[in-house]
Amino acid sequence: MKKIININFQGRVIPIEETAYDTLKQYVESLRRYFSNEDGRDEIINDIESRIAELFSERLKRGTACITDDDVSAVIASIGRPQDFEEQDGGPEGASGTNYQNAQQQAAAGPASYSNVGRGRLYRNADDKIVGGVCSGLANYLGIDPVIMRILFVILIGALFWIYILLWIIVPSQSLQTNITKRLYRNPDDKVIAGVCGGLASYFNLERWVPRLVFALPLIIGLISTSMNAIWWNWDFGFAPRIITGSLGSTLFITYIILWIAVPYASTASEKLEMRGEKVDLNSIRDTVKVDLENFKSKTEKWGQEVKQTAQQFGTNAAAFGQAAGQHAKSFATEAAPIARRAGSGVGNVIGILFKAFFLFIAGIIALSLFGVLIALLFGGMATFPLKNFVLEGTGQNLLGWGTLILFLGVPLVALITWLIRRIMGVRSGNHYLGYIFSTLWVIGLLCCIFLIATFSSNFKTRIPVEDQVNILQPASNKLIVGVKNSHLEYYHGDWFGLRFNDELPIYGMNMDTLMLNTISVKVYKSKDSSYHLTRVRLGRGNNREAARSTAEKIQFNIEQKDSLILLPEGFPISTGDKFRNQQVLIAIDVPVGKRIVIEDAVNRYSWFDVNVNNRRGWNIEFNDYRDDSYSWNGNTEYIMTPDGLKKVKDLDQVELKKGHFKLLIDESNGKIELEGDGEGENKNDKYHYRYKQIEDSIKEKAKDKLRDEIRLKDSIEREKKLKEVIKSTTQNKDRTNEGTEDETLSGSHLFSPVLCFVQI
């Protein structure tokens, strides 16, 4: 019983047996290869194909129903096989007149008869050879130095080479019919990736899922492990599965790649038959081994006797051996010819397979991690189930949320697992219903996701600030301390079903019906009058202005005062009824000039905290994770408001400060601030400061030296004049009030002003 297929051959529809078609295809392919270096290759192939089509047509006209194996064989016999052409056409020596065992080899065979010698085709080099010119030819083919090639060859192939030589000498020679009726092929009819598992299964008479399961086991264990990990954090298989997924997994992976490269693809019918072949059982293996051993024994005995012969006999033996070796070499060459032929494309094949394997590997990793992410999302989604109460609003959004979770994220997961199991079990679905169902469900999930995002984001459309003044008593000590009071709200801090809210999240605590937010920003401004002011701004988002306003107004953020201490809440709670609408609270503290403020370290725990030293320019809340880098604010430090903004008290001249006079204090601090740099020089910018100090010191030293010289030369009155001149020549923004001062340090600090300009440039 044979399957008949219709092929379009040279513009004719020809019914042909499938096996015959395979043979024909193989034959045409072998011709193509044979004529690969011929100029008019396509024309020749076309002519031959036309002729074959003509012969087929004749046969069909005679009433044959279809083209059979015999017909194809007859046609091939008439046209001739590539090795027949060699005989007629005259191929290179050592490559013709050979016995080919099967069509495969014939197809691969065929040395070049007319091609140009050189690159592009692998030849043994006849001119530069040590043994057979193989290395030289390879080197020529690859474009490298033959010497290097030889060294590499000897190093790499050395061991195997000697084993080969040894076997060559020991093992008796005979024309062999292929006695292996079953060969290992990759199975094209039953493949997932490359048919390796399918081939192994038919070779060892196994159910086809067995090798597949073996190769997929690390993957499956990995998947299970990942999902378990996603459900129970820190879930661990322990020692054994690590071995399986780790080293065994990579070993199997490499094994698969090697098999992929080394094992031929059963593309023709005969190869497929060979692949299934005879049943390989223990008995046949034992028999084969037994016979082989006996042969081997007798051969070695015979060989041993030969070695014991006299010198003359040895000489004749050697001659015979030489002759035999010559024949060996010849037959080896003929055997090697098709292999070499293959090797040309083989290198490309190997590279191709490695590339394929690499991409599969990468794709596998991506798929696996996606799978992990999906599982994590699915179970993470369940874990954050209470959180959804703070986010989603109404039945519609809840439904969409569940739809997204189950359909959009869950369905691909189920589909992937189903697909994997089906592939491993070798089930091929006759219909595509399952695929349709999965796709439909997923599309629904996708729509859910889109609608959810759309409705959800519309809830965040508008932002409304609600601003109110908090009445505070002016502290008697002219110092305001801002701290954080401990909340009495109960909440789970840290672990909650494996979810950890750390400082990175604006959420710092939650329980089933309350979510604690600390999206709070504290800003310090310069007061417009002489008293402290505290402004609380609550911001909420919503679908429209009203919703946003009501959200904002619902924020409970009560500020307490104890003398000079202002206590801010740790955060503000949001109930499930309030929903999370990115609520934010801004606390603006106005500090009058000359008065002080201390902000405790605890305030730093708020999600946003910064100090705005400039004059008020409307409210702005910006998420600023890296506040410590851009704002040089120190907690628990006393600051004083100057006309130019906040300054650390300890940075100011304590003596001048203690003089107490308000006006004087400002003047002095003003001068000092200029020296300190452009407003943000709070000793934080170490690099600047250091360089700055260096220049300052060197200029001071120079000024001192100059002054000493003057002192040595002139009397005290002239010295006074000179000093003034020096000050004049080096100072651009000279302070009139300090003109008469003789104090060296002071003049030094004045000298330093132009340097400041320089540094600022």
Partner 1 sequence: MNIENTQSQMRKGILEFCILSVIRRGEAYPSDIVEEMKGANLNIFEGTLYPLLTRLKNADMLTYRWVESNSGPPRKYFSLTDKGKAFYDELEATWIELANAVNTLAKKTDSMPDTTNQNPSF
Beta carbon of residue 101, minimum distance to partner 1 (angstroms, whole number)? 18
Rounded-to-integer distance, Cα 45 and Cα 58, Å:
20
**DSSP H or E segment with residue 411:** helix 411-425
Nearer to partner 1, 319 or 437 (CB): 319
Q: Which of 4, 32, 36, 51 binds partner 1 (CB under 8 A)?
A: 51
66 binds partner 1 (CB under 8 A): no
Q: Following DSSP, what letter does each residue of 121-178 receive, concatenated?
A: S----SSS-SSSSHHHHHHHHHTS-HHHHHHHHHHHHHHHHHHHHHHHHHS-------
Beta carbon of residue 140, minimum distance to partner 1 (angstroms, whole number)? 24
Rounded-to-integer distance, Cα 171 and Cα 167, Å:
5
**Which range of residues in 5-13, 243-251, 488-496, 516-524 is near partner 1 by CB under 8 A?**
5-13
Q: Which of 2, 5, 6, 47 binds partner 1 (CB under 8 A)?
A: 47
Q: Is the dihedral of CA 372, 378, 380, 381 positive or negative?
A: positive
**Which range of residues in 47-55, 399-407, 573-581, 656-664 is near partner 1 by CB under 8 A?**
47-55
The interface mask with partner 1, positions 233-252, x = CB under 8 A, is: --------------------
Rounded-to-integer distance, Cα 601 and Cα 588, Å:
17
Rounded-to-integer distance, Cα 51 and Cα 53, Å:
5
DSSP letter (8 states) at residue 406: I
53 binds partner 1 (CB under 8 A): yes
Nearer to partner 1, 95 or 552 (CB): 95
Beta carbon of residue 81, minimum distance to partner 1 (angstroms, whole number)? 7
Beta carbon of residue 15, minimum distance to partner 1 (angstroms, whole number)? 15
**Which range of residues in 44-52, 147-155, 175-183, 638-646 is near partner 1 by CB under 8 A?**
44-52
Rounded-to-integer distance, Cα 101 and Cα 338, Å:
12
Q: Which of 1, 8, 11, 490 binds partner 1 (CB under 8 A)?
A: 11
Beta carbon of residue 16, minimum distance to partner 1 (angstroms, whole number)? 15
Q: Dig out the tokens for 579 from the structure.
A: 């929903």
64 binds partner 1 (CB under 8 A): no
**DSSP H or E segment with residue 596:** strand 596-599
Beta carbon of residue 338, minimum distance to partner 1 (angstroms, whole number)? 18
Q: Which of 7, 44, 66, 657 binds partner 1 (CB under 8 A)?
A: 44
**DSSP H or E segment with residue 308:** none
Q: Which of 6, 64, 70, 90 binds partner 1 (CB under 8 A)?
A: 90
Q: Tell me, rounded to whole angstroms, the distance of Cα 660 from its chain centroid.
A: 65
**Which range of residues in 33-41, 401-409, 484-492, 691-699 is near partner 1 by CB under 8 A?**
33-41
Rounded-to-integer distance, Cα 74 and Cα 296, Å:
41
Nearer to partner 1, 77 or 512 (CB): 77
Site for partner 1 in 108-147 (CB under 8 A): 114
**Which range of residues in 49-57, 161-169, 421-429, 655-663 is near partner 1 by CB under 8 A?**
49-57
The structure tokens 């996708």 sit at 446
Size of the site for partner 1 (CB under 8 A): 41
Q: Which of 5, 58, 630, 721 binds partner 1 (CB under 8 A)?
A: 58
Site for partner 1 in 277-336 (CB under 8 A): 323, 326-327
Nearer to partner 1, 28 or 416 (CB): 28
Nearer to partner 1, 11 or 63 (CB): 11
DSSP letter (8 states) at residue 234: T
The C-alpha angle 653, 657, 658, rounded to 5 degrees, equals 120
Helix axes 282-307, 146-170, angle to 10 degrees: 100
Query: What is the per-residue burial (b if ≥16 Cβ within 10 Å, else e) of 591-627?
Result: bbbbbbbbbbebbbebbbbbbbbeeeeeeebeeeeeb
Rounded-to-integer distance, Cα 583 and Cα 516, Å:
11
| Residues that bind partner 1 in the complex, under the rule CB under 8 A | 10-12, 31, 35, 38-40, 43-44, 47-48, 50-51, 53-58, 61, 78-82, 84-91, 93, 96-97, 114, 323, 326-327
